[in-house]
Chains A and B, each alone.
Chain A
Amino acid sequence: DGGITQSPKYLFRKEGQNVTLSCEQNLNHDAMYWYRQDPGQGLRLIYYSQIVNDFQKGDIAEGYSVSREKKESFPLTVTSAQKNPTAFYLCASRQGDSDEKLFFGSGTQLSVL
């Protein structure tokens, strides 16, 4: 089945540690996105990528980094510079500029130890 796979489902970060969240899609979608969700709030855009080897900052990129070396993969690194990383992280993808539908993975819950 085609879809978006996020791993791990749960992740714990120690102080000063960088952690990487995985996002893989087999939908052959061009564009991929990372959102952060906090309780009682909408989704906020962290980074997005329209094409391999290119990505843009979203509204809350500080403390995060991404790479897009392959079309199907868009990993997100939460660096130690992100002082409040506890949140639910959602990866999404869509076909391209002509496709308005955004599809989501099942999310990763990141917590600080």
Chain B
Amino acid sequence: GEDVEQSLFLSVREGDSSVINCTYTDSSSTYLYWYKQEPGAGLQLLTYIFSNMDMKQDQRLTVLLNKKDKHLSLRIADTQTGDSAIYFCAEGTSGSARQLTFGSGTQLTVLP
């Protein structure tokens, strides 16, 4: 079955860039997503990328996709303390009613 893997923890200094990595196994994935979860809250969709794209930029967020290696990354520029949260990578296939397969999440801690 599909599998999505992420490292569990990442710490960065305020103002630095954060890079959160993710690998997936399903070669038929159509979309890849990044969600953010703050403590005790639901998941907030940050951004997503189609599998035929290499890069997507949205303000401080840059998503890079290496489809050959099935590797996805999320770069957060000028990381702020408000960016501290759990970040989930997820993959999905167009037309699939089952929707998404999620990674285990990366806990990002931003140090002052």
Kindly supply a per-residue 1/0 record for chain B positions 77-103, scoring 1 wherever the CB is within 8 Å of any chain A CB and 0 otherwise.
000000000001000101101111111
Point out the residues of chain B lying under 8 angstroms from A106, CB to CB. 40-42
Kindly supply a per-residue 1/0 record for chain A positions 23-52, scoring 1 wherever the CB is within 8 Å of any chain B CB and 0 otherwise.
000000001010100001111010010100
Query: Is B53's CB within 8 Å of the partner chain A?
Result: no
| Chain B contact residue count (CB 8 A cutoff) | 26
Chain A interface main SS type: strand
Query: Is A101's CB within 8 Å of the partner chain B?
Result: yes
Query: Is B111's CB within 8 Å of the partner chain A?
Result: no
- Chain B residues in the interface with A (C-beta under 8 A): 4, 8, 30-31, 33, 35, 40-45, 48, 88, 92, 94-95, 97-105
Q: A40-B8, A100-B94 are in contact. Are A33 and B45 (CB under 8 A)?
A: no
Kindly supply a per-residue 1/0 record for chain A positions 52-76, scoring 1 wherever the CB is within 8 Å of any chain B CB and 0 otherwise.
0000101000000000000000000
Q: How far is the CA of A102 from the CA of B99 in the complex (A)?
A: 8
Name the interface residues of A92-113: CB closer than 8 Å to any CB of B: 92, 94, 97, 100-107, 109
Query: Is A90's CB within 8 Å of the partner chain B?
Result: yes
**Would you call B100 and A102 a contact (CB within 8 A)?**
yes
Interface size bracket, A side: 20 to 34
- Nearest-neighbour CB distance to chain B for A4, whole angstroms, equals 8
Q: How far is the CA of A5 from the CA of B48 in the complex (A)?
A: 24
Give the A-B contact count at a CB cut-off of 8 A.
61
Point out the residues of chain A lying under 8 angstroms from B43, CB to CB. 43, 90, 92, 104
**Would you call A104 and B94 a contact (CB within 8 A)?**
no
Q: How far is the CA of A88 from the CA of B35 in the complex (A)?
A: 16
Point out the residues of chain B lying under 8 angstroms from A58, CB to CB. 98
Point out the residues of chain B lying under 8 angstroms from A97, CB to CB. 95, 97
**Would you call B45 and A48 a contact (CB within 8 A)?**
no
Q: Which residue of B lies closest to A42 (CB)?
A: B102
Q: A106-B41, A107-B42 are in contact. Are A94 and B99 (CB under 8 A)?
A: yes
Point out the residues of chain A lying under 8 angstroms from B45, CB to CB. 101-103
Point out the residues of chain B lying under 8 angstroms from A4, CB to CB. 42
Instruction: List 26 A-B residue pairs with CB atoms under 8 Å apart, sorted by A's residue number.
Output: A31-B99, A35-B102, A40-B104, A41-B105, A42-B88, A42-B102, A42-B103, A43-B43, A43-B102, A45-B98, A58-B98, A90-B43, A92-B43, A92-B99, A97-B95, A97-B97, A101-B48, A102-B33, A102-B45, A102-B100, A104-B42, A104-B43, A104-B44, A106-B42, A107-B42, A109-B40
